[in-house]
């Protein structure tokens, strides 16, 4: 039993056993106490029972209106039931998203609001997607520090206090220019040069600390660049790989802000979401670590353009290098070593570059392409 609950129970019994003492009800300020919100043995097994044997998890997704949240909610609702997955954000959702399942306003910087949501909705899994991405974070370091670090602290404290299974994504941006780049292993020198990367290393280490210190069931995947058709680029350095499809369909021209030979690891969104579900469902005893690389493909802007031009030969691609984004990309891995994920919980990707391009074009529709180029 958590120490806080023991303390509260003993204090309450002491008050109730002293009639007429005139004492006021005791309130325990959980967040301000100095000891662990949860005490467990170092060899404990966390949430190792599969959810096929128990009730479905009740999931809260923060930052749910970003590139990944809506897709993950759709996947989890199909698996666990519509009402068991709650999307949250500080922005107003589109009607289609609002009516697709539970949505709630949640500001990760508002600890009280976040705690109430977890308690009132009996949350058991928390997927923390709220973050400012690499290029946006460099343009507003103070805000990135607040959202990516202070917000994370709120999430960690609440997850530990209420015994949640917590997923926090990391990124290729968690590595730096002194990291081995091809391939980049799970464990190596990181030392990123962006506030986004620094905040993600902080998240990895804090999550692992809370796991070992408080028994928090923390799980983390380092995502490559994620490519999806049904969301607009969100300010990341790898977003050129999404923007090229939008521009190709709309104008038949694309200006890339990275050098044509800039190689980065990438992944189609369906693989990313499936990996997230699989690591969340993996029995604790199969996890040899709490933060894993996952990989699918690795390509350059030139290689992506050439694959796209096989089906859209009229596409014109030019290069106007953004020095800020290029410097970021040059400090990131060229290829991920994800052998631990493949060995521990049988991770395997489905999409390589040809399948990615075909899937993206199928999403936009052949009629649109024909109208543009005929």
User: Of the candidates 275, 268, 274, which has an alpha carbon nearest to the alpha carbon of residue 293?
Assistant: 275
Instruction: State the Cα–Cα distance between residues 184 and 197, nearest whole angstrom.
Output: 15
Per DSSP, 49 falls in state S
Tokens of 215: 């028994």
Burial class (CB in 10 A: 0-12, 13-18, 19+), 161: buried
**Which residue matches tokens 């129970």?**
9
Provide the annotated active-site residues: 196
Residue 183: asked if its preceding bond is cis (omega within 30°), the reply is yes
For residue 166, what is the enclosing H or E element? Answer: strand 165-167
CA within 13 Å, CB half, 36: 17
d(CA 351, CA 70): 20
- Measured in residues, the chain has a length of 374
Handedness of CA 328, 331, 336, 338 (dihedral sign): negative
* Pairwise CA distance, residues 39 & 44, whole Å: 10
Neighbours of 363 (CB within 10 A): 12
Q: How far apart are the first and last CA of the chain?
A: 69
């Amino acid at each position: 039993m958590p120490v806080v609950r023991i303390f509260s129970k003993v204090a309450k019994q002491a008050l109730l056993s002293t009639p007429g003492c005139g004492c006021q009800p005791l309130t325990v300020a959980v967040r301000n106490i100095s000891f662990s919100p949860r005490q467990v043995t170092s060899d404990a097994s966390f949430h190792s029972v599969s959810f096929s044997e128990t009730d479905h998890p009740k999931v809260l997704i923060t930052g749910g209106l970003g590139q990944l949240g809506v897709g993950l909610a759709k996947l989890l609702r199909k698996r666990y039931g519509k009402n068991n997955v709650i999307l949250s954000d500080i922005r107003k959702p589109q009607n289609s998203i609002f009516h697709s399942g539970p949505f709630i306003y949640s500001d990760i910087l508002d600890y009280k609001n976040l705690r109430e949501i977890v308690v009132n909705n009996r949350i058991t899994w928390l997927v923390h997607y709220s973050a400012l991405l690499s290029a946006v974070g460099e343009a507003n370091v103070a805000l990135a520090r607040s959202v990516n670090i202070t917000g994370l602290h709120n999430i960690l404290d609440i997850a530990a206090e209420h015994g949640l299974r917590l997923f926090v994504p990391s990124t290729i941006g968690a590595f730096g220019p002194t990291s081995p780049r091809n391939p980049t292993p799970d464990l190596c020198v990181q030392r990123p040069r962006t506030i986004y990367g620094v905040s993600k290393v902080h998240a990895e280490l804090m999550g692992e600390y809370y796991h070992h210190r408080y028994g928090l069931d923390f799980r983390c995947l380092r995502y490559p660049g994620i490519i999806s058709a049904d969301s607009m680029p969100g300010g990341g350095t790898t977003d050129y790989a999404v923007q090229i499809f939008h521009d190709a369909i709309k104008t038949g021209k694309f200006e890339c802000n990275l050098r044509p030979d800039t190689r980065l690891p990438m992944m189609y969104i369906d693989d990313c979401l499936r990996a997230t579900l699989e690591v969340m469902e993996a029995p604790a005893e199969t996890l040899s670590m709490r933060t894993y690389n996952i990989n699918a493909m690795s390509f350059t802007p030139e290689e992506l353009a050439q694959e796209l031009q096989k089906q859209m030969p009229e596409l014109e691609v030019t290069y106007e290098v953004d020095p800020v984004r290029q410097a970021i990309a040059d400090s990131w891995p060229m290829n991920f070593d994800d052998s631990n994920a493949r060995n521990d919980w049988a991770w395997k990707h489905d999409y390589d570059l040809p399948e990615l391009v075909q899937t993206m074009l199928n999403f936009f529709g052949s009629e649109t392409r024909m109208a543009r180029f005929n």
